[in-house]
Structure 1
Amino acid sequence: MYPDSETLRNRRIRVLLDNSKYYWLSSIVLALLCLISTSLLSHSLNSVANALYITVLGLIGLYSVHFSQKQLKKVPLWSPELWFACLVAANGVLWGIAGRNDGIYLTLAIAQAALAGLFLASHNRLSFLSITLTALIPTPFLYLNGNPILFHIFLPLMLLIAFISYHGHRMMVRTLRNELESERLTSLLTQNQSELQKKIKKRTHQLEMANQRLIKEVELRKEVNQALILSEEHLNLAMTASGIGFWDWDVPNRKVYHSDTERFFGREESLQSGEFSLLDSVCKDDLPAIRRLLVRHLKDKSTFYQARYRITLPGSDKMRWLEDSGKVTERDDSGRALRMIGTRRDITKDMQLQEELSLSSSLFNNSSEGVFVLDDKQQFRTCNRAFCQIFARQKGELIDRSLFQVIQTDQSDRILHSVGNNDKWYGDIVAARHGEERFPLHLTLTAIRRDDDSISHYLGICRDQSESDQNEREIKYLNNYDKLTGLFNRSYFHQLLNQFQEHQPLSVNNYAVCVLNLDRFKSVNESLGIDVGDQLLKDLSARLSNFSDPVRQVARMSSDEFAMIIEYEKDQDRLNVTLSNLLAEISRPFLVGDHELIVTASIGVCFVQKGNLSQLLNQAIAAMNQARYKGGNNYQFYHQKLATSPLERLQLEKSMRKAIVNHEFSVDYQPKLNLLTGIIDSVEALVRWMHPQKGVIDPEEFIPLAEETGLISAIGEQVLNKACMEAATWRERGFGDISVSVNLSSHQIRRDDLYEVVQNALITSSLPAEYLELELTESMLMEDISHAQDFLNQLRSLGVRLALDDFGTGYSSLSYLKRLPIDTLKIDRSFVNEARDGETSPIVEAIMAMSESLRLSVVAEGVETKEQLEYLKGLGCDYAQGFIISRALPSSEILPLIRHSNLQTLSQTSESVH
């Protein structure tokens, strides 16, 4: 064995060889990226050559790894560090030369330095050498070029990489050292265990011999009494090891000695002194039997005393079974017992096994299925009552008869062949009883083998299928339909989807699978009751069932979720019309009792294609969730970006919960341009998530999941607090009176503590309430208009402003608009988009006219061109928001834009300022 230092050094070298191949592979891949970028962008021969050099060096590095691994197997103490130092240094120089070109080359050089810190962590000198050379060579070039990246990004990143590499090296060395120590301790433990087992085996043999001597000594009575006293300690040890206790009763003095009182009775105190107190621990129900057996033996009416009884452990309700065996060893001249010696053992497991055997026997005899046992010649050994009833025979008639003489089936050869090969056969057969009556029988026959692999018995179980076949057909029929609506259920719909896999012509772009979910159906059940909700589902099911072509099949998948198969014959325009008609049909009012209900739905659609036949329903549900995220009352088609497995969703939810606790969510701000003053005096807060491993995650990926899991409330509260704090900070720094808009989710407005959450955010940040605007969608408010009025008035009492987002996309908001304390209408980007290339938008003009009569301010979303901006300004629109102004920016970038913004600057160009 090598010394510890040599062993650790050898382990580090093996780790280096394992990881360095990834270092060279990553260098080759990055070099090829560099080569591709050079070919597409600059066509620089120097860069091409440098990339080729790096690639060649990477191949040499891979060969050196292979050579070193072979050499290390031959010479365990051999070290390739000098080779690797030269190759890593050369690689660092080449990447440093590549990085002096800035742009993609510098980025790839930084990435290679980071990978060196990761894959060469076992040898800090190698990783430091690579990082240092990669960092030093580009530095003078970047400095002479006056490139701000040098101090802002490059040097800080390289220092950070070096710092992380150093600590990673320390952690890896510490881990390797711990592994070696653990292996050493494991080896020692294994060796000690082996020695201990040998000692235990030897000691066990000695104890068994001692136990045999004890039996002989008890039979010798008085002659060996003195020897028993002298070997009392050894005897106790032998009893403990063998699981047997020992007791010695001095009858005239009423004293008894018990060994292992803690093991048997759960007591640490000795029972040696005082009166005989064993009976105090015995279950009261067993006392009469013990006294009877004991008195019988003391009177010399039995050769041995033997009793089984239960005791209760102190401080516990558990019962323990003990068995005492003893014999009077001394009597006086009158025959009165003077001394009694015996043993005790714990028989709890034996009694449990006996009880299990009794239960098994009861189960065997009382089972509703026929159970029987055959010998190795397939002749009956025993059977239960149910088997006798099935074949209308007495048990005595069946014993010693052959199985197939009783069952009388023409499948006997096949059954015996299967049992002989597989030790088991089960299936449905046709058997006979009363000689002629044929009936269906489900039979299971299992072979039981001995240790030598020969068959000792056969165990059989059978069940009369006469009645169950009919019941099964009825249940199977009922299982295909939903009990409430009469539509197909989820199980049958899966069978319909399986037809696309079984019949290939059906999967040639002619069909689409849709999943429909009612928006906010839960509020109907909560506010009007389950009966109203059930009737609504029945009426909706009737509409879907009566919907004209091309809807082919409709099924109810769960509470308020339905699925459909639509035949669109490769005509997507026709499919779009069908889906729009579906949304319109669903949104028509329902009259349920005294209630007129208006509901909307979110529809997800996926096309049936050869590549997705096993994922049709999952893809449609993913598209449906996207439709819900977009506010409901719309349909969305599945695309690859929505593909998320259940495991990925679970991992994303877990990461989201950690992100909430660790405050990983940040806020970007999209400015709103005041078209009257030409300045930016308002921004909208938008949540962003920088995942530690995945980087920036699109809100369209995590917000639907956050709404589904209820985490959106916690995220929304963090966004509200951060937005208020930063808006208050801007005012303190003299940036003027900047209002901030924050979106509220449907989960937040349903919470009873929304008023306190907003109030606490204003108090904590010291932001005046009039500079906070809360945005809600009209679909949220339509769930319960009375509740909406109440909580909006509560929020309005704080002094905050209220805005109605995506205005015009709903069905019912116009009739209730006067009743709600709304300050601002936000025109949906879909309407603003109509005003392109000098065209007008009647909807935008109508909303402007209505807002003027109601004295509401208007914000236009999605403004992207100068023509749209001028059109909205001419209509008297108050604010514009969109890429023509700016995209959403972090707080540090939004402030310079606010400081320098004015309408004249924007009117001079058709390009966005960002």
Structure 2
Amino acid sequence: MIEDQYEYIREHNHAAQIANTIRLSRYFLTSILVVCLYIFCIYKFFSSTPAPYFSTWFFTTEIIVCLFWLVSTAHFKPGLYNLNHAHRWLQIQCFTVGCLVAIGIYILYNYLPTINPDFEEIHALTLSALLLIVTQSFSLTYLTQKLNYFCLTFLPSIIPFLFSQYFIQHDTNPLFSLALNFALIVILLCATTSYRINLRLSTTYARNQLLMKDAAQQVTWTDDLCKQLQDEINHSKDIELQLQLNNQLLEQKVRERTYDIEQMNKDLENQQENLVLAHEIAGLRPWDWNIKDRKIRITNHLYEKQVRDSKQHLEQLQHQIHPDDAEQLKLTLKLHLRGESERYEANYRIQNSEGKWTWVHDIGRVVERDPNTKKAIRMVGIRRDIQKEKMSQERIKLATSVLQQAAEGIFILDEELCYIDVNPYYEKLTGFSSNQILGKHLFDITANYKSQQRSAHYSVIKQLMNMNEFDGELNEKFLSGKELTLWMHINAITDEDHKVTHYIGIVSDLTERKLQEQRLSYLENYDTLTDLPNRFYYNYQLHKLLVTQRDSQFAIIRLNIDRFRPLNEYLNHNGGDELLRQVAQRLRLTNPEALFMAHLNGDDFAIVYEVSHLCPSVHDQCARINKAFGLPFNIAKQDHLITISMGVAFYPEHGRQLDYLNNCAEQALTEAKTLGGNTIRYYSKENTALLEQGIFLERDLRKAIQNNELMVYYQPKINFRDKNVCGFEALVRWNHAEKGIIPPNLFIPLAEQTSLISDIGRIVIQQTAKQIRQWKDMGFNNICVSVNIVAQQLRRGQLLEVLDDAMSLNQIEGQDLELEITESSLLENSEDVKNQLNEIKLRNINISLDDFGTGYSSLSYLADFPIDILKIDRSFVSKIGQNKQAAIVSAMIAMGKAMGMTVVAEGIETEQQLQYLQDLDCDIAQGYLFSKPLPEQEATEYLEQNTCASLIAT
């Protein structure tokens, strides 16, 4: 009967596995179709190089998988197919899919990189790994009803990777190969586990079916018994009524007893299943040793019951146990068998099938002894694998040792940022013992009476709360009196619900390193003789100043001691050094307003001074220095009178580059030395005069803005194709009340040095928008006017508001305006400039790059910034006819056309220039050949005349 039951369960499991796999294989095939299509699309999207083998593989795979899907759906319908046929079909299907995946992996990993140089090895590795992992994931999901189906797909698909690792040399990181191999092993283990789970479920279902059949048979037998009893009752009508009643009572008791027995059987079966499940979950493997009969029943790693001869089992166990544990195990077992211990319990190592030693925990008890001799007859117990527990204990010990021996401070906080553990090095850093630290908040052991320190602590806690991490430098003063510079790194530890449970911090002492860095920084940047910055640090500071404060004005003063060489020879080396120290000290006392000063070399000094109405003038400052040097210097108990020569250069009047400014100051100093010394020379008298003149010019310009003396002139732009006016360039003019028209080259540079350029730009934009509105009312709807914009207008952040107000007030569109920006404007704050230009583009306003090629000329501006129009500077157009200049113009136009930009040539004055540009397919022309800049009324007349002339010609 038992063999029939096992045969039934086996046949049921076989049929169920095939039926479930037939049903799930359709989802598996659909998944293969999708992942192959996805990988094919990724390759085609990122690479245009043809790959015939890859395409052939893709279409072949899609066709074969579709055929498999159709056959599985149409032919193998539930209950209408032969199991053996279905089994063979599934094997063929799984093996074919595995081979197709293997071919695809080989093509992706080894073939595509050889035919496509842009398809790098990392791309091949990514796509092939994606195909392998996703395929195995779907196989793990849908094909583990029967393990050989999964293996028929799994094993062929991993062959290309294994083959590549051992027989083909790649530059792939070996760590990736190891990780992938481990992942494949894990997938195989998961497939085995999934197969076992499915097998157990199927077996349980079959057993339930048998129990249901047995219960139905019992019911049938009970019904038959009832009928027989009823027949007996019918045949015994002559029996007395009392006997009839007793028979009925007896029948009722039999039924109740039968029901109770059935319930007990069911309860026992449920308890048995629960016990087996509990053993499996806990990893317990029970054993039962019948000492009297020399038999032992054990549970193997598959939780299958096995009966062995006890002597044979003990001999086999003796070969598996670690030699160091064998004697102790024997002694423990003997003591318990003799009754000298309450129970048998031992931890020992056994050798598994892979040859590795694994720790197990064995516990048991004698449950039956001979009543006369007291010898053990039967013993039961369980064995449990504790390898993971042992490894966890070792890791805990190792972690504890690392925590105690680490050469950095380590602490552990709870979720409230209170200390729960610290290592000895952290105690050493803070000056507190662990008993004094534990239980306190993170910063309770530090001094918090300064607002700066409280702010730093608040910032650390806030970052921990928001980001669960902090990494930074802190200057801490502990309540123990120690002051340290620390580098602190704190990480949050979360549970499975992503809730923070602890914080772990690592602290490094940077105090000594900071002192060394400060010392090295001083030796690198300062002159040890005079304690002033050296030449390197001077150039660095000056460059930093020029970059960060472009709108300010500075004076660079170079000083030199007159006739220092003969004086140094007279005083000897030590006396000369003392003189330099005293000169440096006198310069410090004399120039408290200086931004910084430096000792460049020998007797050469430099002072950087800010030119501002809040500070004394440069001339007064130089005079004060001369006066200070009129007092004698006491060297070696002797007074010495020395004189100095000074050369002065101004930023930005004399230049904007560091080296150029230094050269200007040196030239002025050389001129002062040439005149005999003891004097002050400025780089250029003419520039000095212009500087003085600029003060009055700035005052008049401010009045001009208030009195509306600024006017906008318009220079026409002509379309090369139809010779029509397509727009104008708005150019500002200053009609001075006394001096008449002042050229822009005199007041625009001055305005750029102050905030006046923003006011001028606002006036030009407003007047231009108003003029565009007037032209629109006259019927000229396609006229675009360009306005020049400088860097300061972009940096001040008011340009967008000015544009919006002008367009809204005059009811014009963004396409009616064009902004001309020079290359130098793109150099400063490139990211902010790019953001502003993108905002301008959102208003449909065209952006033109003006004076292209005359500035810093970086081609990256054309690609990085939203530029629509490329404007060739007049300096190139005027030299057309010269081979090199003509080639430059041709290259500019070709480059602009290639990038889809409109090209404008300004400064056209001759027919030769016009014809040359027209032959190069330039888009728009501008220059005196057509018209000079015109006032509003004349510009309108010019527009009407050229429009009428165009209509007549048409």
Question: Which TM bucket (shorter chain)?
Answer: 0.3 to 0.5
Larger Rg: 2
**What TM-score do the two structures reach when normalised by structure 1?**
0.33
**What TM-score do the two structures reach when normalised by structure 2?**
0.31
